[in-house]
């Protein structure tokens, strides 16, 4: 009987710890929604180095995307496009 009570107490303590952890993570998400943003962006590839980056962060030139301004310049110089 004593083993059963100890087991029951351990299960109850584990459940309470789980609830406390769940409540804490929920409050952290609510207090800082920007850190847990679920926004999804289309990924594009830099025409110079082939790195994949979110489309809003890309530098565009026509239909081409670049990870930075320097790669846009290098690509255009290499391919003699302006």
In a domain, 36, yes or no: no
Length of the chain: 82
Q: Are residues 23 and 47 in the same domain?
A: no
CA-to-CA distance for 17 and 28, rounded, in angstroms? 17
On the question of pLDDT at 75 being above 60, the answer is yes
Q: What is the DSSP letter of 54?
A: E
In a domain, 35, yes or no: no
- If one counts the domains in the chain, the total is 2
Q: Are residues 22 and 49 in the same domain?
A: no
CA-to-CA distance for 48 and 60, rounded, in angstroms? 12
Show the domain range for 70.
43-78
Q: Are residues 48 and 24 in the same domain?
A: no
On the question of pLDDT at 57 being above 80, the answer is yes
Per-residue pLDDT tens over the stretch 2-42: 899 999 999 999 999 999 999 888 877 777 655 545 568 89
In a domain, 56, yes or no: yes
Output the CA–CA distances (angstroms, integers) from residue 70 to 12, 34, 49, 52, in the order listed.
Answer: 59, 29, 11, 16
Radius of gyration of the chain (CA): 26
Q: Are residues 47 and 74 in the same domain?
A: yes
pTM across the whole model: 0.51
């Amino acid at each position: 009987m004593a083993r059963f009570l100890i087991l029951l107490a351990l299960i109850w303590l584990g459940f309470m710890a789980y609830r406390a952890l769940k409540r804490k993570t929920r409050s952290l998400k609510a207090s800082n929604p920007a850190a847990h943003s679920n926004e999804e962006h289309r990924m594009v590839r830099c025409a110079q180095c082939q790195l994949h980056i979110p489309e809003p962060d890309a530098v565009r030139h026509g239909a081409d995307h670049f990870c930075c301004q320097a790669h846009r310049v290098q690509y255009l110089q290499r391919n003699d496009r302006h």
